[in-house]
Structure 1
Amino acid sequence: MCNDYRLMVELASVIDEFEHLKIKIRFPEGRPNIEAREDIKITDIAPIVRSAEGARQGGELVQRRWSWPSPTKRPVYNFRSEGRDFTSNRCLIIADGFYEFTTPRDTKKKGKDKWLFRKIGDPIFAIAGIWRETHDVGRAFTMLTMEPGPDIAPYHDRQIVILDRSGWADWLDPSVSATSLIRPLPRGSLSVEQIG
């Protein structure tokens, strides 16, 4: 399951993508300095866009920790979406790629094969997430997961929820049913490249 993703796109380009969708971005904690990163890993701080109170077509870009500790202290970095209709604390996790790892085809290789997935035709995409306030780490986010779509199924038996661009504003609106937005992308939506 996804435990590593990337964001190599500059903040200005991210804002442009949201403006193109008529979603106004606010910076309640100041405009962050977001560096391009090939690897954003569990417990790292990363940008998310969360709902802006009272703004249907708006969101707040903040930086938060990826994962919160479970009661057993293991990080909750992925969260099953099935059977739940998330009505609060939704967020969009901005990425331009994510990684999956598989058993190596070369039996002599140490470690797993690393695969980079990107959304074809889009410089960035949004992963459906939720955030939570915790006593241990403060506000943190996690990625929602679902059954794999056709592009992911050959590599993993679960996948993160990648929202269609037309659903970004709806995900930020808690009055819109989350279950109506969670569905796999059509076959051929993602490119895949072995990078390790």
Structure 2
Amino acid sequence: MCGRFASDLPPELIRRLFSTMGAIPNDVPSYNVAPTQSTAVVRRHPETGERHLDLLRWGLIPHWSTDKGRQPINARAETVASSGMFRGALASRRCIVPMSAFYEWDQATAPKQPYAFARSDGTPLALAGLWEGWWDPAGEVVRSFTIITTGANDTLAAIHDRMPVVLEQDDWASWLDTGPVSLLRPAMDAVLRRWKVGSRVNSPRNNDPTLLDPVEQAAANDAQEAGPDSA
């Protein structure tokens, strides 16, 4: 499962990192991207082979759909090649979703404790995704995407049994160029680090850099905002 993430990477940085061509989208930093919101996604042009960076809506709408339907935000790696919802996009419309971190909630705690996950080496995350273009009744094209998930590695297993597919840089070209589905595997345990974050991330209305603060710092920030009269 991947249901929320932080996308605060400067578009120019993404452009250099992924060698994208064309205009840079006017994307604003978001520390709490939620389903139906738009974010920067890397796609490969099917004719030129060039990589482009575009804003796409999170929640896949298949091109053949007669309405917006259920708009899945995740696709399971185990069934993505056989699912009527995803197999067309897997064959020719793959993408990479760059981000700085994603969030997951511990299913065993009450209330559920949120965690942030990022690369241990400090570089941006590159998640495997699929995209589609759908024409709405008004004649406008809606470009959307979904993030592919797989079984959790040891870093995530104590929190959730699923994790997004994290692509290594050596696999980016292969994934975009319809490489093997064997790329859809759990990341090595050392690739990711995790830390507890505050409960403000639970609401998509909260969107600022402090959402990524470790829970101890988040508590201190909340106390400071409340002021001395709240004691």
Which band: TM-score by shorter chain? 0.7 to 0.9
Unaligned regions of 5+ residues in structure 1, if any? 19-23
C-alpha RMSD of matched pairs (Å)? 2.2
Match 1:59 to one of 44, 51, 59: 51
1:58-84 per-residue CA deviation (whole Å, 9 max, x = no partner) reads 311111100035889433100111142
Cα contact 2:15–2:21 (8 A) shared by 1? no
Amino acid at match of 2:31: E
Q: Name the structure 1 match of 2:204.
A: none
Between Structure 1 and Structure 2, the one with more helix by share is 2
Within 5 Å, give how 1:1-196 maps onto structure 2: 1-18=1-18, 24-27=19-22, 30-56=23-49, 58-68=50-60, 73-83=69-79, 84=81, 86-103=90-107, 105=109, 107=110, 111-136=111-136, 138-174=142-178, 176-177=179-180, 179-196=181-198
From the superposition, tell whether residues 15 and 122 of structure 1 become closer, same or farther in structure 2 (CA, over 3 Å).
farther
In the alignment of these two chains, the number of paired residues is 182
1:121 and 1:189 map into 2 onto residues whose CA distance is 7
Given the superposition, is the C-alpha separation of residues 135 and 54 from structure 1 closer, same or farther in structure 2, using an over 3 Å criterion?
A: closer
Name whichever of 34-43 and 130-139 sits farther off: 130-139
**SS, match of residue 156 in structure 2:** coil
What is the CA distance between 1:154 and its match in structure 2? 1.0
How far is the alpha carbon of 1:17 from its aligned partner?
1.8
* 2:56 aligned counterpart, secondary structure: strand
Q: Secondary structure at the match of 2:172?
A: helix
CA deviations over 1:79-113 (Å, ceiling 9, x no partner): 111142722100001111000012474x5xxx421
Q: Residue 170 of structure 2: SS of its match in structure 1?
A: helix
Structure 2 residue matching 1:13: 3-state secondary structure: helix
Question: Which letter maps to 1:97?
Answer: A
Separation (CA, whole Å) in 2 of partners of 1:161 and 1:185: 7
Identity of aligned residues (%): 28
Within 1, Cα distance between the matches of 2:10 and 2:152? 29
Larger Cα Rg: Structure 1 or Structure 2?
Answer: 2
Q: Give the TM-score taking structure 2 as reference length.
A: 0.72
Indicate the SS of the match to 2:36. Answer: coil
Look up the match of 1:21: none
Q: SS of the residue aligned with 1:183?
A: coil
Shift of 1:180: 2.6
Instruction: State which drifts further: 59-68 or 81-90.
Output: 81-90
Rate the CA distance shift 1:153–1:135 in 2: closer, same or farther, 3 A.
same
Normalising by structure 1, we get a TM-score of 0.83
Identify which range, 132-141 or 114-123, moves more after superposition: 132-141
